[in-house]
Structure 1
Amino acid sequence: MESKVYYAMSFYNTTDTMQTEKKAKEQFEIHIMPTPRAISTSCGLAIRFEGVDEQAYLQFALQQQVPLGLYRIEMKEDGEPKAESIFVREP
C-alpha cells in the first residue's frame, strides 16, 4: 500500500477559512474538510488542496493576509497521518 500525500491549509477562525476558500477556488481544486488531527489549530475547518503543487500552494499562502498554516500531510500505511509544516503565520 502506497502512502497518500495531500496539502492542507488551516486557520484560526471560520471566517478566515471561508474568505480564503473563495480565493483558493479561483486557482485550485479544493475541498473544505475537518482539520486533520495531526494539525493543531483553533478552527475545526481546513482547505484541502487536491494536487501536489507545493510551490503554488506556498505562494498562495504567502499572498493571504490572515493567520494560517500550510501543511504537507502524509497518510502512512498504518492509517496515521504525519503532518509537516510548510508555512505558518501566527495571529
Structure 2
Amino acid sequence: MSEARLREAFFAMVFSCTTDTIETEKAMRKNFKTMIIPTPREISKSCGFAIRFADVEEEKLIAAVKCVEVPHALYFLSSKDKWGTRTASLIEEVSEC
C-alpha cells in the first residue's frame, strides 16, 4: 500500500477475539474491500487486529455492521495530520450479543 493510501481516513472494526475478526472479515469481503490490520494505536481496546475498510460508503457499511452478531466496535479514523496522528471516532459499539 502506498504512503499516500496509508495517510487516508478509513473505517476500522475491532473485536475482542481474533477468531471473530477473521470470520467477520471473510463475510465482509464479499461486499467491501477489506484488510486485516494491527489495531490502530488510537483505538485501545481489541484483540490486536482490526478490519480496515477501503473506499466504502458509510451508510452501506453501518447497515452491514448492524448485522454482525459478535461483540465489536466500528471507528472512523481521520487522515493523518502534519504530525502523523489520527483521531478515532466511535461510530457503533456492541458489547453483548
Asked if Structure 1 and Structure 2 have the same fold, meaning a TM-score greater than 0.5 normalized by the shorter chain, the answer is yes
Q: Which runs of 5+ in 1 are unaligned?
A: none
Aligned to 2:9: 5
Normalized per residue, the structure richer in strand is 1
- 1:83 matched to 2:88: yes
Query: Are the counterparts in 2 of residues 38 and 81 from structure 1 also a CA contact under 8 Å?
Result: yes
Q: Which runs of 5+ in 2 are unaligned?
A: 1-6
Query: Are the counterparts in 2 of residues 9 and 47 from structure 1 also a CA contact under 8 Å?
Result: yes
SS in 2 for 1:10: strand
Q: Structure 1 stretches (4+) deviating beyond 4 angstroms?
A: none
Matches of 1:89 and 1:40, distance apart in 2: 16
Identity %: 38
Residue 69 of structure 1 deviates from its aligned partner by 0.6
Deviation string 1:25-78 (CA, Å, 9 cap, x unpaired) is 100011110000111223000000011411111111100000001010012221
Of residues 66, 70, 82, the one that matches 2:70 is 66
TM-score if structure 2 supplies the norm length?
0.85
RMSD: 1.3
Give the letter aligned to residue 87 of structure 2. K
